[in-house]
Amino acid sequence: MIDRVEALLIAGPTASGKSALAIRLARQFGGVVVNADSMQVYGDLRIITARPTPEEEASVPHRLFGHVDGAVNYSVGRYVEAARAVLAELREQGRLPVFAGGTGMYFKALLRGLSDIPAVPDAVRADVRAKAEGMSPAELHARLAACDPQTAARVRPSDPQRILRALEVYAATGRPLASFQHSRSAPLLEAQRCRAVFLTPDREVLKARIDARFRDMMDVGALEEVERLAARGLDPALPVMRAHGVPGLIDYLRGSSTLEDAIARGQRDTRAYSKRQVTFVRHQLPEFELVAPEDAGAMLASA
């Protein structure tokens, strides 16, 4: 019955086994693994974002992994356009897309479309970011609250990228970002023609996996990878600079943290993120079935 399915969608918290399952299913059905993780798009970070290894990528076709330079402020809108092109290619070839990743906003955009927000001119974006240079996330959030309290109430004060996005939209349009979010573009995928699962490993097992995986990343070159990224001198507000583990390891490289503290911070931030991933799917992605990892393969294969 798999030929009746438009796409398989595999979401889940970090370290829940999404990539391995996607590769297995893509191999089984002659499909293509398509990235749905906002950090795995960056070419600068393979190890610390747990991107598939070169050997894994060679085992079945992969799309939208490591194709973006870290200096780019990659957005959900850009992801949707890239996914649109990949879907057109795969449909022409008659191949099954197997989307896998942990970014709920990417899956939401694929299934629901995007808010119809006007493009922000490059000059406006550059001006907003120049004025924000050196400001802490809390200061940026206060600035947003002053001009757009509605959006500020929805954005975490610790999320500078979304704060800057809201400030850019306000500067370009004079309107709150939230005012555009009721009008949406057509989705790329029809939910009723997809099979979507969210992997739900035991919480304590997941915590142990996250901590062990971070140690494994350190053993295979995560610190050296982050050192190369830090040497580029990129804007610390860019998404790539906020990948879990990166800020702590940069602090260590600059001498303001011990290595053990940096590792513990990376593990802690990743565990906290995994909780937010679960909360997001429960509240915003009802299309996804919550499934134990050991049951997901059989469920999707019988779709």
> Would you place residue 108 in the very low, low, confident or very high pLDDT band (cuts 50, 70, 90)?
very high
151 and 193 assigned to the same domain: no
pLDDT digits (tens, 9 = 90+) for 123-162: 898 899 889 888 998 999 999 999 999 899 989 898 888 8
Strands 7-11 and 32-35: unpaired
54 and 196 assigned to the same domain: yes
In 10 A of CB 254, how many CB atoms?
Answer: 9
68 and 149 assigned to the same domain: no
289 and 232 assigned to the same domain: no
* Separation in Å, CA 58 to CA 16, 23, 68, 210: 22, 10, 19, 25
pLDDT digits (tens, 9 = 90+) for 194-227: 999 999 999 999 999 999 999 999 999 999 999 9
Query: How many separate domains does the chain show?
Result: 3
132 lies in which domain range? 122-180
pLDDT digits (tens, 9 = 90+) for 82-105: 999 999 999 999 999 999 999 999
Strands 97-100 and 7-11: parallel
80 and 193 assigned to the same domain: yes
Torsion-angle region of 103 (φ positive above 0: left; ψ -120 to 50: alpha; else: beta): beta
Round the average pLDDT of the chain to a whole number and report it: 94
61 and 192 assigned to the same domain: yes
What is the pLDDT averaged over residues 221-236? Answer: 97
Check residue 252 and give its pLDDT: 98
In 10 A of CB 292, how many CB atoms?
Answer: 12
Does 265 reside within a domain?
yes
Q: Give burial (CB, 10 Å; 0-12/13-18/19+) of 182.
A: exposed
Does 279 reside within a domain?
no
Q: Contact, 288 vs 196, CB < 8 A?
A: yes
Check residue 25 and give its pLDDT: 97
Instruction: Decide if pLDDT at 248 tops 80.
Output: yes
Percent share of the chain, pLDDT over 90: 81
Does 280 reside within a domain?
no
Q: Phi and psi dihedrals of 148, rounded to 5? A: -145, 70
List the CATH number of the domain containing 60. 3.40.50.300
**pTM of the full predicted structure?**
0.84
